[in-house]
Chains A and B, each alone.
Chain A
Amino acid sequence: MIDGRRRRYLLATLILALLLFNAPLAIVADGLGEGGYLPLYLFLGWTLVILLACLVMQWRAKS
């Protein structure tokens, strides 16, 4: 259904998402400033992952 390149990019996005949503990056976000930025961080990370997934799946190769 999707070519090898897209598969690789999608797996890379998955790995990025796993890193973004879990420790240790989430711990860093949890401790930022006076605290309370974890929800914002998670929603921004979530948006980024969706944008990347959309890019990978919908971008049309020139060929």
Chain B
Amino acid sequence: MFSPWFIVAAAAAYLGLLFVIASYGDRRAHEGRQLIDNPLVYTLSMAVYCTSWTFYGSVGLASEAGIAFLPTYLGPTLAALLFPFVLHKILRIAKTYSITSVADFLAARYGKSTALGGIATAVAMIAGIPYIALQLKALSASANVMLGLGDGEGILPFGIDSGFVIAIVMAVFAILFGTRHIDATETHQGMVLAIAFESIVKLTTFIAVGIFVTFFLYDGFDSIIQATRAAGHGDLLLMPEGWNYFDWFLMILLAGSVVFVLPRQFQVAVIENVDERHIRTATWAFPTYLLLINIFVIPIALAGRLGGIENGDLIVLFLPLEAAAPWLALVVFIGGLSAATAMIIVSTVALSTMISNDVVMPVLLRVEALQLTRRRHLSRLVITIRRASILLLLVLAYIFFQAVGAGYGLVGIGLIAFAAVAQLVPALVLGIFWRDANLVGALAGLTAGIAVWGVTLIVPALAKTGVIDPAILVDGFLGSPLLRPEALFGLDGLQPVSHALFWSITVNLLLLVGGSLLFQQDNLQRLQALLFVNIFEREGTTRIWRGDTRVAELHELLLRFIGREQAEHVLATDAYRRGHRLAMEERADAEFVQLVERHVARAIGAASARAMVASVVRGEVIGPDDILEILDEASQVIEYSHQLEERSRALEQAGAELKQINERLRQLDRMKDDFLATVSHELRTPLTSIRSFSEILIDNPDLELEERKEFLGIVVRESERLTRLINNVLDLSKIESGSMDWHVRDVDLVAVIDEAMAATRGLASELGATLERGAVPDQPALVRGDHDRLVQVAVNLLGNAFKFVPAKGGIARIGVTRDGADWVVGVEDNGPGVSLQYRDAIFEKFHQASESLKDRPKGTGLGLTICQQIVSHFGGRIWVEDAPLGGACFRFRLPALPAAQTRAAAE
């Protein structure tokens, strides 16, 4: 075993190392390099959650009640999954409004209430002091063992209690870490770096002892478990005796909820955070840390139980000592020291800030006799208050440890503290999600909650230690069995902490919700509620100050609370934002007042800062008009948001239409390519024929006359075909380009169909088909149009019909009928008809060209398109339907001329 001086030197060296790390972190931060701007450092700093309670206490509890220690870590695992929802919002609010602690957060949310800030601080202290005492107890006990003073009270030379020495050392250490600089607004980057380092130390040391116990003292997990079963302690692997699953659930809930409100957690997770994106990693990395540090708890606890170690809280230290592994014991001692110092430093820094900002400063600033508002430098006062608070907290914790601590295990003290601090959860969580939560509700809920906590946990503790009459546990308050502290309203069978949590949180929530529904918020509360709940929508639009003051007066305020250097920084920040520096004699606008308030708040808290700023801003009023203005802004934002959504939808629709049009254009482009291919083909075929037969005629002057005639006939027919194709292309081109020379006049459609029949009769005879004249009116069917072009349409349609009629018995029929205000010309045949899917497509240019080039009907593929263009030009429409003859029936309608004109024409 080591000499006591070696142990003391090792501990001092470790603390010195921490101090070096913290100084290095601070120095780098001052140089502009933030070492804590790293998600893993952030996560490790959050592991300050694991204190002596974890390091020593979990093993102690596990040795008696098996897995009862686990809810304390499963709860935060569940809470971590809510980090992106809850912690992110808290963080954004805290950064936006320069919140300095959880009490400050609550005070600011509920109308910058000093009363609520004070009560929240008191609750945090009630919870914090036993918790710090727990660390002192663990440190003291472990130090006593290491120093060879036994695991009872450690009396050092000169009769000094070791616990007292540790408390003083810790106080000095916390003061050095947390309040090193006179600037009250500084962040504690060095401290956070040291805490992160301590998290690594406690994890590795605990895992080291876990591996030693599991794999060196035993042959692995299974070996310990078998030995435990053999020794008749198998119950340690089951749900703990006396627990039910409602207890289990409530304990998970308790541990999960306090992660957001424990002063030290709030300090590292919110106040010291430098980048909210770190939450993303912490969501899974923090639970990972908790898992790792707990893996060996059960094996160590079981080994301690099997080894007959009575003081469960010190199993982790006794096992290596009894196994003659003093170096490992020293490592464990340093790990435990890490766990305790980290908690003590962060907790005392957080609590001292709360005491200073939410209790002492608001009181001092109200005492007129002190005339603090006129003092030039208050930052030194703030720091002094914080240092004194740290000392006070450790002294109180030491007293608690001496008076009560000895009767409780580490976990017992910790859980009582958890249940107390959990009372802050409803006001905090509802405060950021429910705009109607108000100060009356929060005050009532918090006060009643902590009162119920006192009745259900502290009264039984006092009764059991004999401070008050133990009969109350059986008889209940006022002699009523319904008011028994450990079984309120007959709720029996729960663990004391679960029972206390259930009733205290129920009462807390009921009063918070009931008070908020029954009472109205004042204007400032409504405003703060709006700003907090809608933090993501309302950033940067917090113009809540109205009044008259000069920049110089606010600058004076800054100098008093945050010092010259920081005040200059604030002015520079403002100058950067607005593009010019405000002159001292200028009237301060709302933004500048807000900026000053935020920075003063960092030194003395939101409530005091508001009071201080109000003292220099004359005529500052926040009336319903201001609230309405802000609400209007919010409504506008919502309105804009809706408009944006609508525009977004319209853009999506336009995008879809454009996509459709683009697809259509691509299709047309493909058709154009096909057309060029077709036209080239169509031109080449007759040209080839003409050329070939002409060459034959030239090269063979002796050809028979019949043959010559035949060949010349082919040349003539191919020339005609060529001409027809070129004419069609030219016609279409002219129509589309608008350069067609239309000869518009009154046209009789009966005459048109007669002319068309005359033109195609020869073709019909040639094919052996019948051309019939269908129904025609007995008066002129007059329309406005170009006679020749309409004849062309009719001829085209008839020609088209003849292409498809059967070789034998083919019939084509053309007629004209009246339909309402239009004349309708119909051309029908007894061919195969046109299937439904092609009825629109056949009017597209070169449609047949887009089909297979083989087996296509004879023609250019432009006829129907030209027909459609001509009919459309005169306000008509062309379509195809099934014909009574069984084939296709092409119809086109044109507006009829008025009856008078028709009669005149008939006459």
Residues of A within 8 A of B (CB): 1-2, 6-7, 10-11, 13-14, 17-18, 21-23, 26-27, 30, 35-39, 42-43, 46-47, 49-50, 53-54, 57-58
- Decide: A42 and B288 in contact? CB cutoff 8 A: no
B249 contacts across to A, CB distance below 8 A: 22-23
Q: Are A43 and B234 in contact (CB under 8 A)?
A: no
Q: Is the CB of B84 within 8 A of A10?
A: yes
The 10 closest A-B pairs by CB, nearest first: A36-B237, A23-B245, A54-B284, A53-B284, A14-B81, A2-B84, A50-B287, A21-B74, A57-B283, A57-B280
**Chain A: CB-nearest residue to B234:** A36
Given A21-B74, A21-B78, A53-B283, A43:B238 Cβ within 8 A: no
Bound form: Cα–Cα A18–B276 in Å = 26
Contact A14 B82, beta carbon cutoff 8 Å:
yes
Question: Nearest CB to that of A46 among chain B residues?
Answer: B291
State whether B81 touches A10 (Cβ < 8 A): yes
Residues of A within 8 A of B77 (CB): 17, 46, 49-50
How far apart are the CA atoms of A42 and B249 in the complex, in Å? 14
Best-surrounded residue of A35, A50, A54 (most CB of chain B within 10 A):
A50
- B residues near A11, Cβ cutoff 8 Å: 81
Interfacial chain A residues near B298, Cβ < 8 Å: 39
18 A-B residue pairs with CB within 8 Å:
A1-B277, A2-B280, A10-B283, A14-B78, A21-B78, A21-B252, A22-B245, A22-B252, A36-B237, A37-B237, A39-B70, A46-B77, A46-B291, A53-B283, A53-B284, A54-B284, A54-B288, A57-B283
Point out the residues of chain A lying under 8 angstroms from B229, CB to CB: 36
Inter-chain CA distance A42–B234, complex, in Å, is: 17
Whether A7 pairs with B85 at a CB distance below 8 angstroms is yes
Residue of B nearest to A36 (CB): B237
Given A1-B88, A49-B77, A50-B77, answer yes or no on A30-B238 (Cβ-Cβ < 8 Å). yes
The distance in angstroms between the C-alpha atoms of A30 and B248, with both chains bound, is 13
For A47, the chain B residues whose CB sits under 8 A away are: 291
Residue of A nearest to B282 (CB): A57
A23: nearest residue on chain B (CB-CB)? B245
Is B80's CB within 8 Å of the partner chain A?
A: yes
Q: Choose among A2, A7, A30 the residue with the greatest number of B CB atoms under 10 Å from its CB.
A: A2
CB contacts (< 8 Å) of A54 on chain B: these are 284, 288
In whole angstroms, what is the CA distance A26 to B295 when docked? 18
Q: B237 — nearest CB in chain A belongs to which residue?
A: A36
Q: How many contacts A-B (CB < 8 Å)?
A: 90
Q: Output the least CB separation between B102 and chain A (Å).
A: 21
> Is the CB–CB distance between A13 and B238 below 8 Å?
no
Main secondary structure of the interface of A (DSSP, over half): helix
B814 within 8 Å of A by Cβ?
A: no
B67 interface contact, C-beta 8 A: yes
Asked if B276 contacts A30 (CB within 8 A), the reply is no
Whole-angstrom distance between the alpha carbons of A50 and B78 in the complex?
Answer: 10
A53–B291 CB distance below 8 A: no
- Tell me how far the C-beta of B213 lies from the nearest C-beta in chain A, rounded to whole angstroms: 16
Beta-carbon contact of A35 and B237 below 8 Å: yes
Cα distance A14–B83 when bound, in Å? Answer: 11
Known: A38-B239, A53-B284. 15 other contacts (CB 8 A): A1-B84, A7-B84, A17-B77, A18-B78, A21-B78, A22-B249, A23-B245, A27-B245, A30-B239, A35-B237, A38-B67, A38-B237, A39-B66, A39-B70, A49-B81
B225 at the interface (CB under 8 A from A): yes
Q: A2, A14, A22: which contacts B248 (Cβ < 8 A)?
A: A22
**Given the complex, which residues of B lie within 8 Å of A53, measured CB to CB?**
80-81, 283-284, 287
Interface contact B225-A49, CB-CB below 8 Å? no
With the chains together, A23 CA to B247 CA distance in Å? 11
B312 → chain A, closest Cβ, in Å?
17
Which chain B positions have C-beta within 8 A of A42? 67, 70, 74
At the interface, yes or no: B533 with Cβ under 8 Å from chain A? no
On whether A50 and B288 interact (CB within 8 A), knowing A36-B234, A36-B237, the answer reads yes
Contacts of A17 in B (CB 8 A): 77-78, 81
Q: Is the CB of A23 within 8 A of B248?
A: yes
Q: Does B133 contact A (CB under 8 A)?
A: no
Closest to B221 in A: A40
Rounded to whole Å, the gap between the CB of A30 and the closest CB of chain B is 5
B733 interface contact, C-beta 8 A: no
B225 touches A36 (CB 8 A): yes
Please, how many angstroms separate the alpha-carbon atoms of A6 and B88 in the complex? 15
B residues 225-279 in Cβ contact with A at 8 Å: 225, 229, 234, 237-239, 245, 248-249, 252, 276-277, 279
B281 contacts the other chain (CB 8 A): yes
For chain B residues 76-101, which have a beta carbon within 8 Å of chain A?
77-78, 80-82, 84-85, 88
From A1, A10, A42, A57, name the one whose CB has the most chain B CB atoms within 10 angstroms. A1
Do A50 and B284 contact each other (CB < 8 Å), given the known contacts A23-B245, A27-B245? yes
Taking CB atoms, residues of chain A closer than 8 Å to B281 are 57-58
A13, B77: Cα distance in complex, Å? 11
Q: How far is the CA of A37 from the CA of B82 in the complex (A)?
A: 29
Interface readout for B558-593 with A: 1 if CB under 8 Å, 0 if not? 000000000000000000000000000000000000
